[in-house]
Amino acid sequence: MNSLHLINRVVTITLFTVLLYSCELTSEQKQSSSDELESNCLPDEMVDRISVEEAKMGRVERSLKLPGKIEVNSDRVYRVFPNAGGVISDVHVREGDQVKKGEVLATIQSPDIAAFKRDMQHALAEKSIAKQNYSLAKSLTESGVYSRRDLLEAESKLEKIKSEITRLKEEQKVLGIEDDQPFYTIRAPESGFIIERNINPGTTLRNNDSYVFKISDLQDVWVVTNVPESDIGNIQSGDSVSITTLAFPDKMFNGKITRLSNSIDPNKRTMQAIIELPNPNYILKPGMFTNVKVKAYEDESFVHIPGDALIFDENKYYVVLFNDKCDVQIRPVTIKRRNNDRVFLKSGVNKGESVIFNRHILVYNQLIAKQ
């Protein structure tokens, strides 16, 4: 009986000890968990997964990659207008043809030619008569029959008709009227390439019609690119650019932005930029697609970090600074300029400080939750 009582007491003490130890362990675990929640320390497994980069100081770089297109230099385009109405009898050139100054581009049959030739014949006949009258007046003046005044009057009439014939010949040259031909010609005002043709044989022209040809020498061309509104701050007139084309992917063309538009396309939300390029051997053809790379630097230097490190929350930008797993903090920043995968900062991060740029949002949310 005494042995049974002793056994019961041993069992009771053992169970009480186990229960007491269990309660103490649970209390320590809870305290440890509470301390971990209150600490800014990151778990080792999270530290192993984040990516960190040290902030650097450098000149603000402005770089963009933009699609573009080769276009004719509008400052070197000659528009050819018809000089008189009529019907196109022949067109001697096609788009893309190279022509020389003065070369015949088209011939036109025109009723204006008949009127012009009648005027010329009448002027030539009057000149002949005026010349005879002058000779007669000169002779009679020398014999004393005519006065000096009569001679001057005859001479004036002759000079007047000569001036009219000179005018008609200039008009003939401008109109392109060929001698002894029932048509007039349209000639190239300058050497170059036919980049547009708006007439065909049988076309009827009027004196007030628009141009019939466009000619450009293509010695230099424009690369026209549309800059998105969000990138306008990254581009300036005078910036150097490098250009490649689909036709010549291994050949690099270097130039500068010569002009920027002062307006935004309301539909595309873009601004037009133009680069003027020399075109040796005419290898750059209007209509070619290009890739334009803009790369320029400003005089000032700023701290820059990876663009992926930014966190946008409640209309402000933040980064997460990392010194060690127990020294992590959120810092507000102000942006100077975005540049592809880099961000230049006005304030918020100092040179040499490290920022998290991978899984940083997860760390940010945990730190915010602990505040």
pLDDT in tens, 298-328: 778 999 999 999 999 999 999 999 999 999 9
Question: Please, which pLDDT band fits residue 20 given cuts at 50, 70 and 90?
Answer: very low
Per the CB < 8 A criterion, the answer to whether 116 and 171 are in contact is yes
Looking at residue 175, its pLDDT comes to 67
Determine the Cα–Cα distance for residues 235 and 232; give it in Å rounded to an integer.
6
pLDDT winner (highest mean) among 26-30, 146-150, 343-347: 343-347
> In the predicted model, what is the mean pLDDT of residues 109-119?
74
3-class secondary-structure state, position 167: helix
Q: What is the pLDDT of residues 182-235, one digit of tens each?
A: 678 888 999 999 999 999 999 888 766 789 999 999 999 999 999 999 888 778
Which tokens hold the place of 116? 């012009």
- 118 vs 241, more confident: 241
> In the predicted model, what is the mean pLDDT of residues 113-141?
83
What domains can be seen in the chain, in order of their start residue?
Answer: 44-59+300-370 (2.40.420.20), 65-74+217-298 (2.40.30.170), 75-215 (2.40.50.100)
> In the predicted model, what is the mean pLDDT of residues 48-75?
90
Determine the Cα–Cα distance for residues 151 and 103; give it in Å rounded to an integer.
46
Count of other CB atoms within 10 angstroms of residue 306: 18
- Please say if the pLDDT value at position 17 is more than 70: no
pTM over 0.75: no
Looking at residue 275, its pLDDT comes to 96
Please compute Rg for the chain using Cα positions.
44
Determine the Cα–Cα distance for residues 72 and 276; give it in Å rounded to an integer.
10
- 35 vs 95, more confident: 95
Residue 50 pairs with which residues in a beta bridge?
none
Count of other CB atoms within 10 angstroms of residue 280: 9
Computed over every residue of the chain, the mean pLDDT equals: 83
Looking at residue 29, its pLDDT comes to 41
- Please say if the pLDDT value at position 293 is more than 70: yes
- Please say if the pLDDT value at position 36 is more than 80: no
- Please say if the pLDDT value at position 258 is more than 90: yes
